[in-house]
């Protein structure tokens, strides 16, 4: 199994993120990938935080943390050499967005992975779904915490099963109850092979609705092209699941507080031990 390497890195020194915050989120994402995502999707990866782009070694896929990037630049992209990178906004929810982009980058690094299954539209038959593991359950309402840090829910490979089965697990948190279900605040994309048109089911209002995106041609990768298309068609709300954001952020802050309180005695003990070792070394002349 090849090892993927992901870098969390500020876009520039004006981003405003501290190394303490950056490394905490990187550790939370590493734990999520190792404990939750990797075993389910059979992916092995590292997630590391770096102080600047110049510090990122070759071969890493960067997730750039930006303070002032335009909305049209956010999300998944590929560079001039075809390598993936993502841009996320530095705000109160940035760990959730970074988790989302990290998992989707690992599941489909080049934005072209398709899985056949039955269409959500009754008149289409079998279609090809774009693998975007967080989109159907991307709302903050369905997120969870890793090391007290807010991270994204994601669907499992069973998500594309033809029908619901006993014991089937369709997402990590357990909110998706059947294959190809889109939760409130989420969406899913697919291509109809009969027309070569792309479709989405979006759940941004009172109920899910189907949206015809038309044909997409000449794109370096499908995921980036679809993101651009939905922005141009003004099909995405600025914030999904806004009513739940403040409530969940409060819970995430409480979870992080519990983590730090539990860590303080360990840190104090380690400092005392190190101080003692230094004193002993000085006394015995080692």
The predicted structure's pLDDT at residue 242: 40
Question: What is the DSSP secondary-structure string of 149-202?
Answer: EEE---B-GGGG-SS--TT---BSSS---STTPPPTT-EEEEEETTTTEEEEEE
Q: Which of 62-71, 203-212, 246-255 has the lowest mean pLDDT?
A: 246-255
DSSP letter at 57 equals P
Given a cut of 60, whether residue 282 has pLDDT beyond it is: no
The predicted structure's pLDDT at residue 196: 95
The predicted structure's pLDDT at residue 77: 84
Q: How does residue 270 score in pLDDT terms, banded at 50, 70 and 90?
A: low
Least Cα distance to 182 among 212, 203, 157 occurs for 203
* Mean pLDDT (whole number) for 229-249: 62
Q: Distance between CA atoms of 211 and 170, rounded to whole angstroms? A: 23
Q: How many CA atoms lie within 13 A of 225 on its CB side?
A: 19
- What's the Cα-to-Cα distance from 213 to each of 21, 121, 190, 191, 204, rounded to whole Å? 38, 14, 10, 10, 16
* Mean pLDDT (whole number) for 150-163: 96
Least Cα distance to 108 among 41, 199, 63 occurs for 41
pLDDT digits (tens, 9 = 90+) for 178-200: 999 999 999 999 999 999 999 99
Name the average pLDDT for the chain: 87
Least Cα distance to 200 among 220, 221, 178, 222 occurs for 222
- Residue whose structure tokens are 């899913």: 188
Q: How long a stretch of residues is the chain?
A: 286
Q: What percent of the chain has pLDDT over 70?
A: 83
Q: How does residue 260 score in pLDDT terms, banded at 50, 70 and 90?
A: low
The predicted structure's pLDDT at residue 274: 58
* Mean pLDDT (whole number) for 72-88: 84
The predicted structure's pLDDT at residue 231: 83
Tokens encoding 231:
């922005």
Q: Which residues contact 240 (CB under 8 A, 6 or more apart)?
A: 138, 139, 140, 185, 186, 204
- What's the Cα-to-Cα distance from 275 to each of 95, 269, 271, 284, 286, rounded to whole Å? 35, 10, 6, 14, 15
The predicted structure's pLDDT at residue 238: 47
* Mean pLDDT (whole number) for 133-144: 94
The predicted structure's pLDDT at residue 204: 92
Q: How does residue 272 score in pLDDT terms, banded at 50, 70 and 90?
A: confident
The predicted structure's pLDDT at residue 72: 66
Q: Which of 97 and 274 is assigned the larger pLDDT?
A: 97
Please state the φ and ψ torsions of residue 209, each to the nearest 5 degrees.
Answer: -140, 155
- β partners of residue 171: 155
- Residue whose structure tokens are 């109850």: 177
Given a cut of 70, whether residue 248 has pLDDT beyond it is: no
The predicted structure's pLDDT at residue 239: 40
Contact 204, 237 (CB under 8 A): yes
The predicted structure's pLDDT at residue 13: 87
The predicted structure's pLDDT at residue 241: 38
pLDDT digits (tens, 9 = 90+) for 203-224: 998 999 999 999 998 777 899 8
The predicted structure's pLDDT at residue 78: 83
Q: How does residue 286 score in pLDDT terms, banded at 50, 70 and 90?
A: very low
Domain ranges of the chain: 3-244
């Amino acid at each position: 199994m090849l090892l993927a390497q992901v870098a969390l890195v500020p876009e520039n020194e004006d981003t405003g993120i501290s190394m303490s915050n950056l490394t905490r989120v990187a550790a939370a994402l590493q734990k999520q990938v190792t404990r939750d995502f990797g075993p389910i999707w059979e992916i092995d990866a590292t997630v590391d935080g770096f102080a600047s782009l110049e510090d990122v070694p070759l071969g890493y896929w960067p997730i750039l943390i930006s303070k002032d990037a335009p909305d049209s630049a956010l999300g998944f992209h590929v560079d001039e050499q075809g390598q993936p990178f993502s841009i996320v906004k530095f705000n109160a929810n940035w760990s959730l967005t970074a988790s989302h982009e990290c998992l989707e980058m690992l599941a489909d690094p080049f934005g072209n992975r398709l899985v056949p299954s039955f269409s959500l539209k009754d008149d289409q038959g079998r279609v090809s779904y774009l693998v975007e593991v967080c989109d159907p359950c991307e709302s903050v309402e369905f997120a969870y915490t890793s090391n007290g840090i807010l991270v994204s829910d994601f669907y499992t490979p069973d998500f594309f099963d033809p029908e619901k089965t006993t014991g089937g697990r369709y997402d990590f948190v357990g909110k998706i109850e059947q294959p190809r279900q889109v939760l409130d605040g989420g969406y899913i994309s697919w291509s109809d092979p009969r027309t070569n048109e792309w479709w989405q089911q979006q759940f941004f209002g009172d109920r899910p609705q189907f949206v015809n995106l038309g044909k997409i041609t000449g794109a370096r990768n499908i995921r980036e092209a679809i993101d651009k298309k939905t922005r141009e068609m003004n099909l995405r709300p600025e914030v999904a699941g806004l009513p739940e954001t403040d409530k969940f952020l409060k819970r995430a802050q409480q979870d992080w507080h519990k983590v730090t309180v539990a860590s303080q005695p360990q840190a104090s003990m380690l400092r005392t031990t190190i101080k003692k070792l230094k004193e002993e070394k000085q006394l015995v002349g080692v």
